[in-house]
Amino acid sequence: MILKRHVLDGIADGSISLVFRRWRKPTVKAGGSLKTAIGLLAIDAVEIVMLPSIKPVDARRAGYATLDDLRKELARYGDGEVYRIKVRHAGADPRVALRAQSRLDNEEFAALQDRLKRLDRVAPWTRQALGLIAGHPGRRAAELAAELGQETAPFKINVRKLKALGLTESLEVGYRLSPRGRAVLMRLGSAAPSHKTSP
């Protein structure tokens, strides 16, 4: 479930506590959580509702000025059931604190190496991606992917895996290594990226 920034800000300050979506199958479940730009969101309830049962107060709790505004938005999603999702801010994204942890003892580093080796199981890419991001912070994902001879979508998926380990941070455009990522790259002995060069 992707939420716009103004919705996230409303959830953070408590002015928004509901999200409405039209889905054939829900992408979140009650009791789950969602990592976002403002931190963790708790998903407290997910239920199917009939459109006529939605009240003006529900629309306001979802960040809409009027019920008609909410209905127009739902109409854009096409077919499917209407879902009412109760959300709340549940604290900082644990990955944020992880990114700042640049001092790893030998045991932590060994465990992280094992995680990277598992990601490299089919084809090695983690050191190349880390090195490339280190050398080109803020560069567009499509350009970074081309340097590695990859399509943009698979490259972005790979970077999200590195982000989950606290090694990268997303910028408004592109990425950069976190303090943890820089420390890990240095210990991996990959200060310079090895990647495809243009002729």
User: Residue 167 domain-assigned?
Assistant: yes
pLDDT over 80 at 197, yes or no: no
pLDDT band at 92 (very low <50, low <70, confident <90, very high): confident
Average pLDDT over residues 107-128: 91
Closest among 152, 154, 127, 126 to 139, alpha carbons compared: 152
pLDDT above 90: percentage of residues in the chain: 64
pLDDT digit string, tens, across residues 141-171: 999 999 989 999 999 999 989 988 989 988 8
C-alpha to C-alpha distance for 64 and 53, rounded to whole angstroms: 16
User: Residue 162 domain-assigned?
Assistant: yes
For residue 58, give the CATH number of its domain.
2.30.130.30
For residue 156, give the CATH number of its domain.
1.10.10.10
pLDDT digit string, tens, across residues 93-110: 766 767 777 788 888 888
Average pLDDT over residues 173-192: 83
Describe the strand order of the beta sheet including 39-49 as a list of residue ranges: 18-23, 81-89, 39-49, 33-36
Closest among 155, 152, 170 to 35, alpha carbons compared: 170
C-alpha to C-alpha distance for 86 and 84, rounded to whole angstroms: 7
CA atoms within 13 A on the CB side of 77: 18
- Domain with 23, as residue range(s), is 5-92
pLDDT over 50 at 173, yes or no: yes
User: Residue 145 domain-assigned?
Assistant: yes
Give the residue from 72, 92, 112 where a domain finishes. Answer: 92
Give strand ranges (E) for 58-187.
81-89, 168-170, 175-177
C-alpha to C-alpha distance for 28 and 163, rounded to whole angstroms: 21
**Same domain flag for 57 and 116:** no
Domain count, the chain: 2
User: Residue 196 domain-assigned?
Assistant: no
CA triple 51-52-53, angle to 5 deg: 90
**Same domain flag for 100 and 126:** yes
pLDDT digit string, tens, across residues 9-26: 999 999 999 999 999 999
Q: In a 3-state reduction of DSSP, which class is residue 193?
A: coil
The pTM (predicted TM-score) of the whole model is: 0.57
**Same domain flag for 131 and 148:** yes
Which pLDDT score, from 0 to 100, does residue 106 have? Answer: 87
Which pLDDT score, from 0 to 100, does residue 195 have? Answer: 43
Decide: 102 and 180 in contact? Cβ < 8 Å: yes
pLDDT band at 178 (very low <50, low <70, confident <90, very high): very high
User: Residue 194 domain-assigned?
Assistant: no
